[in-house]
């Protein structure tokens, strides 16, 4: 279908935007979406491979809603990086429309969003906006739900499912467009959503799926290829062959450790294929990665060293800025190879000519060793082939024998995709959502909750209403027992505490645990154990010998709380792990070096900073709850500031100054500048200039009343 065929069906400004981007024809999924009623307001579930043009389908619906129907459009995605990517794409294409991105503070209504035409939000953030009484739901004309197959995800799926079910009720006039690359039961999801199904196998770049055995790759197209490499290790053979073709590749591993070791192995091969220009560019890139933190960690040094040779590893242990640097350099073809955990297979658009899934077996704490699913492999394979650069993309698995090659072929190439299944019917998952139903007055009786649950994907897939009835009854009884909900006849209402817990977007069990713990908080570690022993802090760091030794002093905190973690709440719960997390945070707040903390607690910079961010949120939540239960403990505010900045108590006054972080504050304190008013002294100002240079010194000095330049 030609773009000109859209004249009269979408705003002229959109056709102009498409032409400016040199888009002249629609892809098959896009054309089929038009036939299925995309421009007439029909709900759609679009299941098509990566790079087939799904975002443009969303764009057609959203822009029409904003420009012709004078309604808002909302773009919801499960991962912040994906939300940011789509926001940037839309804003670039339509700079004259008012667009906003909301992925941050979960305890905010973000009233400023009222004035915007298109809002991009993460799943949790938009659900939080509804909990805070979002006032413009009735103004929404189009809802885009990206990565809808995440319904199957244990952690993100339930909130996504509840959100879709809510929006179906609250925004009845809005068009819903759900997008996914891998759905084994796309028809079932479309039926649940009352949507037309747009299903296509179209890819702009042909994908060949193959299995490598001793240097030979047998593809599902029937073609065989002998890799141009003499390397003895399969991943090195694939790498060298790809580089000789002048292409880039991504290799997926099962663990962070394997990812980093893999990058080290690839580096010796990739370095040989770098141009002088690449090397010069990568030198600057390595410096950026190395100096993201105040002091480089061993992981920072390792990543920077690999980058100098044209390789990078990518996993959740990197800090956000490092991931962004790596992704951008790969898009610009400066980094030639990325070794990654499977998380990079989702979210941001980062294709490569060749994809190798090296590890197909993964270890899970509850399940042991098991093959990764066909849906996940298909998602990872979808990264192979770069539009505009490649005619064919290659995706491979590795085998060690003909028998294993045949097994892999049957398992991943001949089998159908696994169906997406609801993960909603679990007591801990329902607890937080049922409290939100009552707190927002969305649903106020057991009967109305059961009716709503029948409208969810869980209710659509499973007909065992008796089991669900028992779970809902148990949750309501528990919430009443904990003082978050009150019952009057058949009607439930939230208490002030329950209302605030729902707004804070924390699990009610976490809130109950904190309420029980607050009166006994006697020292810094007890405060940190209180916020670490919560659902929100999972996964905990590994248990340490030091934690096992010290835990006995704090065991009563767990024993005295009725909000206990049972097997139905957290499998294999071990209080030593959250206690180890508390000790790690205490070391951070005691100014211990990041490098040493990361080494001793066997964690990563990214994981450490995630814990710090979560700790800040939970300490804030504890402070808010403490106001309502009338527990006064100044340690909460003090510890929040110390954890946020990683400082001892004595630096709290200095840290208030702009340009002063944990490192500069400590240097100032050690040089006799122990409080902000000390900066007024001429000798202090001289010391600051000597420590930080005139420019930074002037910015610090100017903040203090009476300070002179």
433 and 342 part of one domain: no
Residue 415 pLDDT > 60: yes
Confidence of residue 355 (pLDDT cuts 50, 70, 90): very high
325 and 355 part of one domain: yes
Phi-psi region of 432 (alpha: psi -120 to 50; beta: other; left: phi over 0): alpha
In a domain, 558, yes or no: yes
Please report, for the domain that includes residue 691, its CATH number: 1.10.150.20
Residue 563 pLDDT > 70: no
User: Largest alpha-carbon pair distance within the chain?
Assistant: 80
553 and 606 part of one domain: yes
User: What local confidence, expressed as pLDDT, does residue 571 receive?
Assistant: 43
H-assigned helices in 76-185: 80-93, 123-131, 157-170
SS3 444: coil
Q: Which range marks the domain in which residue 360 is found? A: 206-413
| Residue of 155 and 642 predicted with greater confidence | 642
CA dihedral 441, 447, 449, 452 (to 10 degrees): -110
* CB atoms near residue 209 (< 10 Å): 22
Residue 708 pLDDT > 70: no
| Residue of 181 and 62 predicted with greater confidence | 62
313 and 408 part of one domain: yes
Q: pLDDT (tens digit, 9 = 90+) per residue, 358-408?
A: 999 987 666 678 899 999 999 999 999 988 889 999 999 999 999 999 999
CA dihedral 306, 308, 309, 315 (to 10 degrees): 30
Query: If we measure between CA atoms, which residue out of 589, 582, 609 comes closest to residue 598?
Result: 609
388 and 253 part of one domain: yes
Q: Using CB atoms within 10 A of its CB, is residue 346 exposed (0-12), middle (13-18) or buried (19+)?
A: buried
In a domain, 44, yes or no: yes
Please report, for the domain that includes residue 531, its CATH number: 1.10.3380.30
C-alpha 291/C-alpha 268 separation (Å) is: 24
Confidence of residue 622 (pLDDT cuts 50, 70, 90): very high
DSSP state of 253: E
Looking at 167, 199, 231, which one is the last position of a domain? 199
Give the length of the chain.
709
The arrangement of strands across the sheet holding 392-398 comes to: 224-226, 216-219, 206-213, 392-398, 354-357, 249-253, 337-341, 311-314
SS3 540: coil
Residue 569 pLDDT > 60: no
H or E element that contains 199: strand 196-199
Domain count, the chain: 5
User: What local confidence, expressed as pLDDT, does residue 570 receive?
Assistant: 44
SS3 396: strand
Q: pLDDT (tens digit, 9 = 90+) per residue, 628-666?
A: 999 888 899 999 999 999 999 999 999 999 999 999 999
> Please, what is the Cα angle at 332 between 328 and 337, to 5 degrees?
80
User: What local confidence, expressed as pLDDT, does residue 562 receive?
Assistant: 64
> Please, what is the Cα angle at 313 between 308 and 318, to 5 degrees?
105
Lowest mean pLDDT among 357-366, 403-412, 584-593: 357-366
456 and 521 part of one domain: no
SS (H, E, C) 333-393: CCCCEEEEEHHHHCCCCCCECEEEECCCEEEECCCEEEECCHHHHHHHHCCECCCCCCCEE
461 and 539 part of one domain: no
Query: If we measure between CA atoms, which residue out of 47, 54, 50, 53 comes closest to residue 380?
Result: 50
Mean pLDDT of the chain: 92
Helix count (H) and strand count (E) of the chain?
30, 19
Q: Using CB atoms within 10 A of its CB, is residue 494 exposed (0-12), middle (13-18) or buried (19+)?
A: buried
C-alpha 567/C-alpha 549 separation (Å) is: 25
Q: pLDDT (tens digit, 9 = 90+) per residue, 527-560?
A: 999 999 999 999 899 999 999 999 998 888 887 7
Residue 567 pLDDT > 50: no
185 and 39 part of one domain: yes
User: What local confidence, expressed as pLDDT, does residue 111 receive?
Assistant: 87
In a domain, 424, yes or no: no
Looking at 466, 494, 522, which one is the last position of a domain? 494
């Amino acid at each position: 279908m030609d773009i000109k065929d859209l004249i009269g069906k979408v705003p002229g400004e959109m056709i102009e935007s498409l032409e400016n981007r040199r888009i002249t024809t629609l892809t098959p999924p896009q054309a089929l979406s038009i036939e299925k009623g995309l421009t007439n307001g029909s709900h759609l579930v679009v299941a098509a491979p990566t790079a087939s043009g799904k975002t443009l389908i969303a764009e057609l619906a959203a822009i029409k809603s904003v420009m012709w129907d004078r309604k808002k459009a909302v773009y919801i995605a499960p991962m912040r990086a994906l939300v940011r990517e789509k926001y940037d794409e839309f804003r670039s294409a339509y700079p004259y429309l008012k667009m906003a991105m909301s992925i941050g503070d979960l305890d905010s209504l973000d009233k400023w969003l009222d004035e915007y035409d298109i809002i991009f939000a993460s799943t949790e953030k938009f659900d939080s906006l509804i909990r805070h009484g979002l006032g413009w739901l009735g103004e929404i004309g189009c809802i885009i739900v990206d990565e809808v197959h995440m319904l199957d995800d244990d952690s993100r799926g339930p909130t996504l499912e509840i959100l879709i079910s809510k929006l179906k009720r609250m925004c009845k006039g809005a068009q819903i467009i759900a997008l996914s690359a891998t759905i084994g039961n796309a028809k079932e999801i479309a039926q649940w959503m009352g949507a037309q199904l747009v299903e296509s196998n179209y890819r702009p770049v042909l994908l060949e799926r193959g299995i490598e055995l001793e240097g030979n790759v047998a593809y599902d197209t029937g073609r065989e290829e002998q890799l141009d490499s003499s390397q003895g290790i399969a991943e090195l053979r694939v790498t060298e062959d790809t580089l000789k073709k002048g292409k880039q590749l991504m290799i997926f591993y099962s663990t962070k450790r394997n990812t980093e070791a893999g990058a080290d192995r690839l580096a010796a091969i990739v370095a040989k294929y770098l141009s002088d220009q690449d090397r010069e560019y990568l030198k600057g890139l390595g410096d950026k990665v190395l100096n993201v933190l105040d002091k480089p960690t061993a992981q920072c040094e390792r990543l920077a060293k690999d980058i100098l040779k044209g390789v990078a590893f990518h996993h959740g242990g990197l800090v956000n800025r490092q991931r962004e640097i790596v992704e951008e350099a790969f898009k610009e073809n400066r980094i030639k190879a990325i070794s990654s955990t499977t998380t990079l297979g989702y979210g941001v658009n980062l294709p490569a000519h060749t994809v190798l899934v090296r590890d197909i077996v993964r270890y899970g704490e509850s399940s042991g060793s098991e093959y990764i699913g066909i849906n996940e492999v298909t998602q990872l394979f979808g990264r192979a082939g770069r539009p505009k650069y490649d005619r064919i993309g290659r995706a491979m698995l590795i085998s060690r024998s003909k028998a294993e090659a045949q097994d892999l072929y049957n398992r991943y190439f001949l089998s159908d995709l696994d169906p997406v299944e609801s993960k909603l019917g679990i007591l801990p998952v329902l607890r937080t959502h049922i409290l939100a139903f009552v707190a927002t007055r969305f649903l106020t009786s057991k009967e109305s909750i059961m009716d709503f649950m029948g409208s969810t994907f869980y209710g659509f897939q499973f007909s065992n209403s008796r089991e669900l009835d028992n779970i809902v009854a148990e949750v309501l009884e528990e919430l009443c027992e904990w003082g978050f909900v009150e019952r009057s006849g058949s009607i439930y209402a939230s208490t002030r505490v329950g209302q605030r817990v729902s707004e804070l977007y924390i699990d009610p069990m976490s809130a109950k645990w904190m309420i029980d713990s607050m009166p006994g908080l006697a020292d810094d570690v007890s405060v940190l154990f209180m916020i670490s022993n919560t659902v929100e802090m999972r996964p905990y760091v590994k248990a340490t010998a030091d934690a096992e030794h010290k835990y006995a002093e704090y065991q009563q905190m767990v024993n005295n709380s009725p909000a206990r973690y049972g097997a139905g709440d957290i499998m294999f719960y071990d209080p030593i792990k959250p206690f180890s997390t508390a000790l790690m945070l205490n070391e951070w707040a005691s100014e211990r070096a990041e490098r040493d903390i990361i080494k001793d607690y066997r964690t990563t910079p990214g994981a450490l900073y995630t814990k710090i961010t979560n700790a800040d949120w939970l300490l804030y939540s504890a402070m808010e709850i403490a106001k309502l239960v009338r527990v006064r403990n100044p340690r909460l505010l003090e510890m929040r500031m110390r954890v946020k900045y990683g400082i001892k108590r004595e630096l709290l006054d200095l840290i208030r100054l702009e340009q002063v972080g944990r490192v500069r504050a400590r240097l100032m304190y050690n040089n006799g500048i122990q409080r902000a008013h000390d900066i007024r002294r001429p000798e202090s100002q001289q010391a600051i200039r000597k420590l930080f240079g005139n420019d930074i010194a002037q910015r610090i000095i100017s903040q203090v009343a009476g300070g002179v330049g």
